[in-house]
Amino acid sequence: MRYQHVLRAVRDTPWAIRPEALLVIQDGEQLTDEQIHARIQAARPLTPAAQLGDVAVLPLFGVLMPRASLMSQMSGGTSVEQFTRDLGDLVADDTVETIVLNVDSPGGMTDLIPEAAQQIREARNQKRIIAVANTDAASAAYWLAAQATELIVTPSGSVGSVGVYAAHQDFSEKLQREGVATTLISAGRFKTEGNPFEPLNEEALAAVQARVDEFYAMFTTDVAAGRRVTPDDVRGGFGEGRMVTATNAVAIGMADRVDTLDGVVARLTGRTTLGRRRPSRAPAAISGPQQHDDLPEAATSGLSLADGAASAAPTQVVLEATPPTDRSPDVLRERARFELGRAGLRHQEHTGA
């Protein structure tokens, strides 16, 4: 299989992301090395922080990944590590009094999200932090946005998708039909646990579920701290895994008010034109968020995490820490295709799906 390290990241990591966004990542069109290179070369320029007077706007776009990688480079997503560095720079900058987080993200991996949430929550003790869901702050992105001094949702926006899940893919029957037998040679009782060459046994299932539950506890505890409610309030009343529209989010305490990003900036500064900040450090070769003109889910559409060995739909076990919503595979695939089309990209379904 090509891109095994990318597939392993999807398979082994608990995600705090909208299910349809992860579906695009898992079932994205197959790309050759040349196509990957072309996608990277065609990527939009980075969108840096901007400043107007004492107000700075810091973007949080696309799929959230812990560090800059092939996945974030191609998808236009955000490196959480770079985001926290930029936030730290703004907090330390004496010319900045208010930091506005411009959020448009379906969520992402759970790695470094608890640390980033704590940093935002502590930063609001030093400066006013305003998060604007412009348009969506989903899952890990909501986890972070909820830590702000104030959380605002644009009128057409949504927040929520509070939950964590992992997916195990079992290729054993497919490989057997192809006459391929894989022998794993390992040391350590659980070293090969969760491998894709055999069904997930009960012991492995319990281990992954425990990890999902652990991150879900972190998620709900942090959101409760940020929104000044109890974890039970979050688990039982903040959408329970669903996205919540702007006015409804305000009504149940998930957000503070409804307004546009331009409206927020105008009220803070009296103007809406932002100037680009001069970077405090040379940017990394692959880092930071990239601009998107469409839904955040479409930010994942440039990824190919499948290859020839995954061309048929595998058996999949999804582990959730929230009650599953009514999302059939067919509906999710149609949603993924629709959003890929809006991004102007081709989406090819697996031939066995």
The structure tokens listed for 323 are: 């009650």
Is the model's pLDDT at 333 over the cut of 50?
no
The structure tokens listed for 215 are: 């991150």
Predicted confidence at residue 259, as pLDDT, reads: 98
Please, are residues 151 and 159 in contact by the beta-carbon 8 Å criterion? yes
Predicted confidence at residue 19, as pLDDT, reads: 81
- One-character DSSP codes across 6-45: HHHHHHHS-EEE-HHHHHHHHTPPP--HHHHHHHHHTPPP
Q: Which of 26-35, 264-273, 284-293, 296-305 is the least confident region?
A: 296-305
Please, are residues 105 and 61 in contact by the beta-carbon 8 Å criterion? yes
Pairwise pLDDT comparison (152 vs 322), residue with the higher score: 152
Predicted confidence at residue 283, as pLDDT, reads: 44
For the CA atoms of 274, 280, 281, 286, the dihedral, rounded to the nearest 10 degrees, stands at -20
Is the model's pLDDT at 88 over the cut of 60?
yes
Distance of alpha carbon 197 from alpha carbon 183, whole angstroms: 9
Amino acid occupying residue 154 = T
Pairwise pLDDT comparison (262 vs 71), residue with the higher score: 262
CATH classification code of 4-169+199-342: 3.90.226.10
Predicted confidence at residue 37, as pLDDT, reads: 58
Pairwise pLDDT comparison (94 vs 2), residue with the higher score: 94
In the chain, domain spans: 4-169+199-342
CB proximity list for 94: less than 8 A, separation 6 or greater:
none
Q: Tens digits of per-residue pLDDT, 126-169? A: 999 999 999 999 999 999 999 999 999 999 999 999 999 998 88
The structure tokens listed for 343 are: 């991004």
Predicted confidence at residue 326, as pLDDT, reads: 46
E strand or H helix at 174, and its extent?
Answer: helix 172-177
- What mean pLDDT is predicted for residues 204-210? 94
Amino acid occupying residue 113 = I
Top mean pLDDT of 273-277, 279-283, 297-301, 336-340 is at 273-277
CB proximity list for 309: less than 8 A, separation 6 or greater:
1, 171, 174, 175
Predicted confidence at residue 170, as pLDDT, reads: 87
β-sheet bridge partners, residue 159: 137, 244
Angle at 112 between CA 329 and CA 249, to 5 degrees: 60
| Mean of all residue pLDDT scores within the chain | 77
Predicted confidence at residue 332, as pLDDT, reads: 44
Predicted confidence at residue 271, as pLDDT, reads: 75
Q: Tens digits of per-residue pLDDT, 240-290? A: 999 999 999 999 999 999 999 999 999 999 876 666 665 555 444 433 434
Phi-psi region of 239 (alpha: psi -120 to 50; beta: other; left: phi over 0): left
Predicted confidence at residue 145, as pLDDT, reads: 98
Q: Tens digits of per-residue pLDDT, 216-236? A: 999 999 999 999 999 999 999
pTM given for the model: 0.74
For the chain, give the percent of residues with pLDDT over 90: 54
